[in-house]
A and B are shown apart, each in its own frame.
Chain A
Amino acid sequence: MSQLTRRDFIQSALAGSVGLAGLTACGGGSSSSSEIGGTGGGGTGGGGSVINPILVVVNIDGGWDWLNVTPPISGANRMAYEAQRPTAKITNAVDIGSGVGLNPDFTGMDTLHGLGKIAWIMGLSMPNPNLSHFTASDLWSQGGTVGSSPVSLNGSGWLGRYADTAFSATNAIQGISALSSNPRMITGLQRNFIPLNANPSLTLMSGLRNYERGLRPPYESDLALLKNAYNLGFSTPTNDVSSRSAIETISAQEKSLYDAAVSLGGLTLRTPSVTYPTDLPINGEFFDQLKLVSTLIASNLPIQVYYCRLSGWDTHSNQSTAMRVLLRALGGGLKAFYQDLATINTPLGNAQDRVMIMTWSEFGRRLTENSGGTDHGTNSLSLCIGKNVKGGFYGEYPALNNPDLYGNMRYMSTSDYRQLYATVLDRWLNLAPSTTNNILGANYARFNFL
């Protein structure tokens, strides 16, 4: 298996929209139709083929050491990798093509890769990274143009701006956060995601213990009255100047809660058709999030985007143990979820046909290990998983033998993280390319995994 070189990647990127027939993937297994380094040029084509698509975003939170997820297995990159990671290097990676190995702890991904259902978007980078979780997360979340700041984007995220564009004003539930809050990536200016804290039921009023039971006597008989009174509270404008801004913020969110509770109140968690991992020393929150998503997909609500998160990847120390557990949770969870989707049929079709999973992590980690872990680094790896994804490798694997002054991977304009967003917006979520470009503030080359 020949290693794909940095030069190959650059060439393939330059080839752009004319296609990359000469660089057909060696990864991806028998059914793969993957291409390597396939950036498809600017947004001129656009338009995905899946009707009523669903995007499930999975945040790999904390900056994952993707070099140990998909380590180089040969060539100059392998030499550099081994030199910088004398104890932390992965020695049992499985060759999945293009000089890339797969950490066997990332369970289930070998299967999906073999089926050609994973697009590995390599080396995703941003200009001038400062190695801060929070800056990197903010920039990944905003997906803004170079030099833009949270101020100029009004704190919105790229999927929040998508929601502003695509969600209807009259439907309260089109975007769901499986967390207890709405991260910046899904924060828009006009439309709201509903955070569900991994529980599908959204009861407006209830006691605290056994909270799905609703209010107790004698108050339960006044529920309609209390709902009306609550509605009166958030729908009546204030004329108090100093509190107005705060009150308007709260009122809008109370209205979202009120509207969403109409559809979600009393919804119960669906029993998955598959088994999620049970043998890991980790709480089951991530699996609960995925079960919530499959429940809501099965409920046939018009939800277009879901947001999930698996935290714990900030492995400054104890990396080998922590990564093993996290990778098994992530891989096992995603594979179970993907398989479960196949059993969900709604009037809009089979769920596996309609869903694409997109992972993101704010950065990769330092090439050089410290004593027991790795510190913050640059460049990341995203996975797009789905039945309609063209599996294989996209973007560019960084040159590990050419790090910057502090030992970090360099920015590559051929693997800009916003190319991923541009691809997802118009080739999965079916936006017109011009709308995508407007949301991102520029016309980024698309990858060809869709």
Chain B
Amino acid sequence: MANLMPIASWTATDVQHFARRTGFGITPQSAAQVATRLPGPFIDEWIDGYSTAAMEGVLAERGDVVPVAFIAKLTVGEDVPAVVGDHGFLITGNDAWRNRISYAQAEWFFRMQYSPNQFQERLAVFWHVFFATAFEKVDSAILMKQQIDVFRSNGLGNFTDLLVSVSKDAAMTKWLDCVQNDATTNQIPNENYAREVLELFSLGVDNGYSQEDILSLAKALSGWSFYVHPSDWSQHPGNISDPSAGQPKRTIFTVYQGQGVPAGSRQWDYLFPHNNSLRKMHPSGASDATGGSATISFLGTTFDYSSALTGMAPGEHVLRHITVARPIQCSEFLSKRFLNHFVTPNYTAQDVSDFALVIRNNNFHIGTALKILFKSQYFFETDKRYCLINSPVSWMVQATRMLGFPLGVANAMNPRGFPAWRLLISEDANYDFNFLRGLSFALLNPLGPNGWADHDAWINPNTLRWRNYFASALALIERANANTMDFAIVPSDISQWLPHGGPTALDIYNQLIDLLQPAPIPTPVRDGWLSMLFGSTSTPISSGTLTSFEPKIRELVFLILICPQGQAH
């Protein structure tokens, strides 16, 4: 039985556990401050979120250590001309046409590193893994970003509302072929999305539905697509003759039923619709429904899928029936995913059932249910500490948060103190690496709609070597230069890490452990490392001599990050 009663008090160690799991970690100093507060109100605050205005302000102007003009020097063959200002990854508004996945990835990493609303980003990653959608087919960085924005804005609400929002999301409609799902006269519906809704996005494989239910849901969601208003189009300036060369600044969800749209609007494939009206793909009644009937049976209930209930899109009432008809299956499916991602890979069937009940009792309101989970005795139990293997994304973000510069400091530096995320993860052909792929976590570009498995699926000899390389870039201060500018690709300053200086190698080690928060490292490893690097655990190192020990201190950080304990959280 999972003890889901709330904890009454906590320590700085508990706070760090909480922040690692529901965010990307906080420093020991911050944890000590938070520990003086009651856990309940703090956890509510953390989940509800903080203002991101300062971060948004910086991001609007600048998001990378390297000015974009210098990036252009680094990327031979780059087809994206420099923009006014010093931004490395603009993909929104009038810049939507730039359409580079590496920009969208870099933008997300910047947010994960600097947003004070850590949980929002952490939950967005969770939902991205859950509703995995890939740039590879969507072919739009802006649509991918807008899907992640759906997770940011709706990720804590009612699950059915989230499922509906995702089903109306432009990237998803392209990814799983809803845009080509036609259930009108003589057409065979495309069941791709309907299958994955039941199998991956709500119930789990073979968990309370049949092939007939898939076909019924496919009919209900036929024609779910979008169009682009003429004023919402960002045309590629280098290819103005091709009407489809560009990207939408925003899209408008609609169900294709043959209706008219403003002149110059583009349909989902970005080509102009014939006669300014959209194709009919969702029937208006039995007469134009595939097979001559708009009546379907879905999860044991009969519906007219051609109709629309007030305030809903045609067919939406069918989609909303999943949590009504299969509350236990859906809540248990969600419960497993939440427990495995946030709490433990060693959950029991009873744990799943217990948290599923919480989800149902709170009417599938995710935020309310997660607050109960994150405040619970269960979440803070000793056997939940460091039992999960960190994903490469949260591992990297946690490391850069702990070792990098705070936002204000980074933004005031010259060159800026931001990591060169854009360069690190570039998809440009001229780089022979893409380290997110090497890490088996190509954010925004999963191999399939099943996303990624958590925990031990992150770890193999290949992903570990890429972790080694990233840890090296960060801890061993890898540098690059362009256009006479020399910069650290992941900037850091060791004096920040060690507010107390020494006085011995062991004290240095202990401060770094507090900062980086690995699982407990065996004493023989600690002593062996300190002996190899400093001669012994008691070698004197003071604030005044830190600089002379910098390479060894950085090597120690490198080892902590890449040792087995450094990958657990």
- Chain A residues within CB distance 8 Å of chain B: 61-62, 130-135, 177, 180-182, 192, 194-197, 202-209, 211, 215-216, 218-219, 222, 225-226, 228-230, 232-234, 236-243, 245-247, 249-251, 253-254, 256-257, 260-261, 311, 314, 316-318, 368-373, 375-376, 406
Contact (A316, B190) CB under 8 Å given A209-B433, A243-B568, A257-B464: yes
Instruction: Provide 26 A-B residue pairs closer than 8 Å at the C-beta atoms, listed in order of the A residue.
Output: A61-B447, A62-B448, A132-B195, A135-B205, A180-B440, A181-B462, A192-B460, A194-B461, A195-B460, A197-B438, A208-B469, A209-B431, A209-B489, A219-B554, A219-B555, A225-B555, A228-B532, A233-B559, A241-B383, A243-B565, A253-B464, A256-B461, A257-B462, A261-B465, A316-B177, A371-B187
A2 to B282, CA, bound (A): 45
B301 contacts the other chain (Cβ, under 8 Å)?
no
Residue of A nearest to B206 (CB): A130
Within 8 A of A (CB), among B23-71: none
Name the one of A211, A228, A229 contacting B469, with C-beta atoms under 8 angstroms: A211
Contact B465 A203 (CB under 8 A): yes
What chain B residues lie within 8 Å of A314 (beta carbons)?
192, 448
A256 to B460, CA, bound (A): 8
Residue of A nearest to B528 (CB): A232
Contact B529 A239 (CB under 8 A): no
What chain B residues lie within 8 Å of A181 (beta carbons)?
440, 457, 460, 462-463
Contact (A230, B563) CB under 8 Å given A209-B480, A257-B461, A370-B190: yes
What chain B residues lie within 8 Å of A241 (beta carbons)?
383
**Closest CB in chain B relative to A431 CB, distance in Å:** 25
Name the one of B195, B465, B472 contacting A257, with C-beta atoms under 8 angstroms: B465
Contact B462 A180 (CB under 8 A): yes
Contact (A195, B564) CB under 8 Å given A205-B472, A226-B559: no
What chain B residues lie within 8 Å of A318 (beta carbons)?
180
A224 to B248, CA, bound (A): 53
**Closest CB in chain B relative to A439 CB, distance in Å:** 22
What chain A residues lie within 8 Å of B177 (beta carbons)?
316-317, 373
Contact B190 A375 (CB under 8 A): yes
What chain B residues lie within 8 Å of A196 (beta carbons)?
462
Contact B460 A371 (CB under 8 A): no
B385 contacts the other chain (Cβ, under 8 Å)?
yes
Contact B473 A207 (CB under 8 A): yes
A-binding segment of B111-119, B121-129, B324-332, B518-526: B518-526
**Closest CB in chain A relative to B82 CB, distance in Å:** 21
Contact B461 A202 (CB under 8 A): yes
What chain B residues lie within 8 Å of A225 (beta carbons)?
532-533, 555
What chain B residues lie within 8 Å of A236 (beta carbons)?
522, 524-525, 528
What chain A residues lie within 8 Å of B180 (beta carbons)?
316-318, 371-373
B387 contacts the other chain (Cβ, under 8 Å)?
yes
* Count of chain B residues near A, Cβ 8 A: 78
Residue of B nearest to A207 (CB): B478
Name the one of A233, A249, A376 contacting B525, with C-beta atoms under 8 angstroms: A233
Contact (A208, B568) CB under 8 Å given A131-B195, A229-B529, A376-B195: no
What chain A residues lie within 8 Å of B476 (beta carbons)?
207, 215-216, 219
What chain A residues lie within 8 Å of B532 (beta carbons)?
225, 228-229
**Closest CB in chain A relative to B561 CB, distance in Å:** 11
What chain A residues lie within 8 Å of B192 (beta carbons)?
314, 316-317, 375
A202 to B440, CA, bound (A): 16
B199 contacts the other chain (Cβ, under 8 Å)?
yes
9 closest Cβ pairs, A-B complex: A233-B563, A243-B386, A257-B461, A195-B462, A243-B519, A250-B564, A316-B192, A208-B473, A240-B520
Known: A245-B387, A370-B187, A375-B191. 13 other contacts (CB 8 A): A134-B200, A180-B462, A205-B472, A209-B473, A225-B555, A226-B559, A234-B563, A238-B565, A239-B522, A246-B519, A253-B460, A253-B461, A257-B461
What chain A residues lie within 8 Å of B188 (beta carbons)?
368-371
Residue of B nearest to A285 (CB): B437
Name the one of B190, B431, B459 contacting A250, with C-beta atoms under 8 angstroms: B459
Residue of B nearest to A225 (CB): B532
Contact B190 A242 (CB under 8 A): no
B470 contacts the other chain (Cβ, under 8 Å)?
yes
The residue in A208, A232, A317 that gathers the most chain B C-beta atoms within 10 A of its C-beta is A208
Name the one of A253, A311, A372 contacting B459, with C-beta atoms under 8 angstroms: A253
A209 to B565, CA, bound (A): 25
Within 8 A of A (CB), among B539-564: 551, 554-555, 558-559, 562-564
Contact A222 B461 (CB under 8 A): no
What chain A residues lie within 8 Å of B554 (beta carbons)?
219
B384 contacts the other chain (Cβ, under 8 Å)?
yes
A327 to B361, CA, bound (A): 51
What chain B residues lie within 8 Å of A317 (beta carbons)?
177, 180, 190, 192
The residue in B182, B470, B562 that gathers the most chain A C-beta atoms within 10 A of its C-beta is B562
A154 to B489, CA, bound (A): 42
**Closest CB in chain B relative to A319 CB, distance in Å:** 11
What chain B residues lie within 8 Å of A239 (beta carbons)?
522
Contact (A194, B187) CB under 8 Å given A206-B469, A229-B528, A233-B564: no
Contact B384 A242 (CB under 8 A): yes
Chain B, residues 408-443, CB within 8 Å of chain A (1/0): the string is 000000000000000110000001010101111000
- Chain B residues within CB distance 8 Å of chain A: 176-177, 180, 182, 187-192, 195, 199-200, 205-206, 211, 346, 382-389, 423-424, 431, 433, 435, 437-440, 447-448, 450, 455-457, 459-465, 468-470, 472-473, 476, 478-480, 489, 519-522, 524-525, 528-529, 532-533, 551, 554-555, 558-559, 562-565, 567-568
What chain A residues lie within 8 Å of B383 (beta carbons)?
241-242
**Closest CB in chain B relative to A292 CB, distance in Å:** 12
Residue of B nearest to A226 (CB): B555
Name the one of A131, A205, A371 contacting B468, with C-beta atoms under 8 angstroms: A205
Contact A260 B567 (CB under 8 A): no
Contact A246 B389 (CB under 8 A): yes
Contact B386 A216 (CB under 8 A): no
What chain B residues lie within 8 Å of A203 (beta carbons)?
465
A349 to B7, CA, bound (A): 67
A239 to B180, CA, bound (A): 56
Contact A208 B489 (CB under 8 A): yes
**Closest CB in chain B relative to A57 CB, distance in Å:** 17
Residue of A nearest to B424 (CB): A208
Name the one of B189, B199, B470, B479 contacting A132, with C-beta atoms under 8 angstroms: B199
What chain B residues lie within 8 Å of A240 (beta carbons)?
386, 519-520
A225 to B447, CA, bound (A): 38
Contact A216 B433 (CB under 8 A): no
Contact (A238, B519) CB under 8 Å given A230-B562, A243-B568, A373-B190: yes
**Closest CB in chain B relative to A248 CB, distance in Å:** 8
Contact B461 A243 (CB under 8 A): no
**Closest CB in chain B relative to A284 CB, distance in Å:** 10
What chain A residues lie within 8 Å of B468 (beta carbons)?
204-206
Residue of B nearest to A316 (CB): B192
Contact (A234, B564) CB under 8 Å given A132-B205, A249-B456, A371-B188: yes
Name the one of B424, B439, B461, B529 contacting A260, with C-beta atoms under 8 angstroms: B461
Name the one of A215, A216, A261, A370 contacting B189, with C-beta atoms under 8 angstroms: A370
**Closest CB in chain B relative to A375 CB, distance in Å:** 5
A180 to B438, CA, bound (A): 6
Contact B460 A182 (CB under 8 A): yes
A371 to B256, CA, bound (A): 15
What chain A residues lie within 8 Å of B384 (beta carbons)?
242
**Closest CB in chain B relative to A269 CB, distance in Å:** 10
A311 to B450, CA, bound (A): 14
A43 to B128, CA, bound (A): 47
Contact A197 B437 (CB under 8 A): yes
The residue in B457, B470, B473 that gathers the most chain A C-beta atoms within 10 A of its C-beta is B473
**Closest CB in chain B relative to A174 CB, distance in Å:** 13
The residue in B176, B187, B564 that gathers the most chain A C-beta atoms within 10 A of its C-beta is B564
Contact B478 A243 (CB under 8 A): no
Contact B520 A131 (CB under 8 A): no
What chain B residues lie within 8 Å of A260 (beta carbons)?
461
